[in-house]
């Protein structure tokens, strides 16, 4: 609707100007129109967006969701795009939640979560990753790992603070930072370095405004990991410059050939690290939305205040299911799923290399990140043509930030038969565009 220069008043209803002269204002049914009526109409023409926060307007829609709008409703498409296990939550875990419902366990829990779940998380982290936290003061149960990241950023970031984020990486970090008034600073990582963050690149992006470093290892989307030796120089820089680390370790269990190392386990790093994790990926519990965060009591206490006012507590049924997933039987189920992912990892990486797409060795998570640079297409063009012409959905790498262009993200958390068929379709697609 175009802006008008006159008020939106029907001439037949507009009264003649009064004898008071030019300064009088038009009347409609005894109501006085404000003298800035044209300005009001222009604002109405702008739609409801004018009411939105400038911070919300500043963040773009999710690049992944925008891409998958193209896929929605299409038939015969093999999706390698969704970062979600193809396993159902193990039966014993589901049964524990059902039994709790039958017993009427439908109440609120403590804001920080069930004490027995926090104790189980503490034991699990100590046994698996040599991390030790007080369940009463240093662990909070969240609605997925995403809430834990959001709480951490809101508790830490002041307007203008810079948040350092190695890229390519999980999409929400930058928008979450923006919503807090912070400034996300992307640090490009490279395939030649196995997408690891290096001391040199971290130092090159430091400024007096640097406050938080977000680490996502094992990495979504690259599958890269950081070893103890890789983390030592990063920890040194963090301590030198008095940074706080938010370590997103949702894929910690999904490593192949080596064990995950948390930066919080390094000397002097526990008190300046917030570890965020959850049950979605390794335990096949994406829809349950169960996560947790661990850290210094002052930091967790601040996050708990925000959690109290915004969420109250995570759903009790999910907490009971999460508790069961940490039982010996639940851990056995998790290990079986990891073994299956490793088999699929080898299949898809070898498959990409055989059809001519270079692919670095992903040692964690359940993603491959092959290069499509030699095709001459952008990652967006490649992904769009792939889904239209070959019926295979993958995520264009550029949506993951710096260093993502020229790659596509492919999840191998799907069946072996689907992976084999997808590789065959991609091979035929590559042969087609090479001919053209």
Say if pTM beats, i.e. exceeds, 0.85: yes
Tell me which residue has tokens 């929400």. 172
Q: Which two tokens stand for residue 383?
A: 């992904």
pLDDT in tens, 40-54: 455 555 688 889 988
d(CA 410, CA 401) in angstroms, rounded, equals: 16
Q: For residue 101, how many C-alpha atoms fall within 13 Å in the half-sphere facing its CB?
A: 10
How do the pLDDT tens digits run along the chain, 436 residues long? 344 344 444 433 444 444 444 444 344 344 444 455 455 455 555 688 889 988 898 888 776 766 566 666 677 899 998 888 999 999 999 999 999 999 999 999 999 999 999 999 999 999 999 999 999 999 999 999 999 999 999 999 999 999 999 999 999 999 999 999 999 999 999 999 999 999 999 999 999 999 999 999 999 999 999 999 999 999 999 999 999 999 999 999 999 999 999 999 999 999 999 999 999 999 999 999 999 999 999 999 999 999 999 999 999 999 999 999 999 999 999 999 999 999 999 999 999 999 999 999 999 999 999 999 999 999 999 999 999 999 999 999 999 999 999 999 999 999 999 999 999 999 999 999 986 5
pLDDT of 67: 59
d(CA 304, CA 142) in angstroms, rounded, equals: 9
**How far lies 146's CA from each of 173, 305, 314, in Å?**
9, 17, 13
Nearest to 422 by CA among 375, 357, 330: 357
pLDDT of 27: 40
pLDDT of 60: 80
pLDDT of 47: 81
Instruction: Convert the chain into a string of H (helix), E (strand) and C (coil).
Output: CCCCCCCCCCHHHCCCCCCCCCCCCCEECCEECCCCHHHHHHHHHCCHHHHCCHHHHHCCCCHHHHHHCCCCCCCCCEECCCCCCCCCCCHHHHHHHHHHHHCCCCCCCCCCCCHHHHHHHHHHHHHHHCCCCCCCCCEEEEEHHHHHHHHHHHHHCCCCCEEEEEECCCCCHHHHHHHCCCEEEEEECCHHHCCCCCHHHHHHCCCCCEEEEEEECCCCCCCCCCCHHHHHHHHHHHHHCCCEEEEECCCCCCECCCCCCCHHHCCCCHHHEEEEEECCCCCCCHHHCEEEEECCHHHHHHHHHHHHHHCCCCCHHHHHHHHHHCCHHHHHHHHHHHHHHHHHHHHHHHHHHHCCCCCCCCCECCEECCECHHHCCCHHHHHHHHHHHHCEECEEHHHHCCCCCCEEEEECCCCHHHHHHHHHHHHHHHHHHHHC
Q: Which two tokens stand for residue 309?
A: 């006012």
Q: 311 exposed, middle or buried (CB, 10 Å; 0-12, 13-18, 19+)?
A: middle
Q: Is the dihedral of CA 207, 208, 209, 213 positive or negative?
A: positive
Contacts of 123 (CB under 8 A, 6+ apart): 326
pLDDT in tens, 268-278: 999 999 999 99
Q: Residue 218 in contact with residue 254, Cβ under 8 Å? A: yes
Q: For residue 348, how many C-alpha atoms fall within 13 Å in the half-sphere facing its CB?
A: 31
d(CA 303, CA 298) in angstroms, rounded, equals: 9
d(CA 83, CA 85) in angstroms, rounded, equals: 7
What are the structural domains of the chain? Answer: 11-51 (no CATH), 58-87+331-435 (3.90.1150.10), 91-330 (3.40.640.10)
Residue 427: which region, alpha, beta or left (left: phi > 0; alpha: psi -120 to 50)?
alpha
pLDDT of 15: 42
pLDDT of 304: 98
pLDDT of 98: 97
pLDDT of 50: 87
Q: Residue 16 in contact with residue 28, Cβ under 8 Å? A: no
């Amino acid at each position: 609707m175009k802006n008008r220069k006159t008020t939106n008043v029907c001439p037949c209803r507009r009264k003649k100007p009064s004898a008071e002269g030019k300064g009088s204002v038009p009347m409609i049914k005894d109501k006085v129109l404000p003298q800035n009526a044209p300005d009001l109409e222009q604002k109405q023409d702008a739609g409801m967006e004018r009411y939105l926060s400038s911070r919300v307007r500043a963040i773009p829609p999710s690049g992944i969701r925008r891409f998958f709008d193209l896929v929605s409703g299409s038939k015969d498409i093999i999706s390698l795009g969704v970062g979600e296990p193809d396993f159902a939550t193990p039966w014993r875990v589901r049964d524990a939640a059902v039994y709790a419902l039958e017993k009427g366990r439908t109440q609120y829990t403590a804001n920080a979560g069930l004490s027995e779940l926090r104790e189980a998380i503490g034991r699990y982290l100590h046994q698996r990753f040599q991390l030790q936290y007080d369940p009463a003061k240093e662990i909070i149960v969240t609605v997925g790992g995403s809430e834990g990241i959001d709480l951490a950023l809101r508790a830490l970031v002041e307007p203008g603070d810079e948040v350092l984020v190695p890229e390519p990486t999980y999409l929400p970090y930058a928008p979450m930072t923006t919503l807090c008034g912070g400034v996300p600073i992307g640090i490009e990582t490279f395939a030649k370095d196995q997408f690891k963050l290096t001391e040199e690149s971290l130092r090159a992006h430091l400024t007096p405004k640097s406050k938080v470093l977000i680490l996502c290892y094992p990495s979504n989307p690259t599958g890269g990991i950081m070893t103890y030796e890789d983390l030592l120089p990063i920890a040194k820089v963090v301590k030198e410059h008095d940074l706080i680390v938010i370590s997103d370790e949702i894929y910690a269990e999904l490593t192949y050939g080596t064990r995950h190392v948390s930066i919080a386990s390094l000397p002097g790093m526990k008190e300046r690290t917030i570890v965020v994790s959850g049950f979605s990926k390794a335990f096949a519990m994406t829809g349950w939305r169960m996560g947790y965060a661990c850290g210094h009591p002052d930091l967790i206490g601040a996050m708990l205040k925000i959690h109290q006012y915004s969420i109250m507590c995570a759903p009790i049924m999910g907490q009971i299911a999460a508790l069961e997933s940490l039982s010996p039987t639940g851990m056995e189920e998790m290990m079986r799923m990891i073994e299956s992912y490793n088999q699929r990892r080898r299949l898809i990486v070898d498959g990409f290399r055989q059809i001519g797409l270079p692919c670095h060795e992903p040692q964690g998570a359940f993603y491959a990140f092959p290069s499509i640079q030699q095709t001459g297409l952008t990652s967006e063009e490649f992904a769009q043509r792939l889904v239209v012409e070959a019926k295979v959905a993958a995520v264009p790498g550029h949506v993951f930030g710096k260093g993502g262009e020229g790659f596509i993200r492919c999840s191998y958390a799907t069946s072996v038969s689907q992976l084999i068929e997808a590789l065959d379709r991609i091979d035929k697609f590559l042969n087609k565009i090479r001919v053209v």
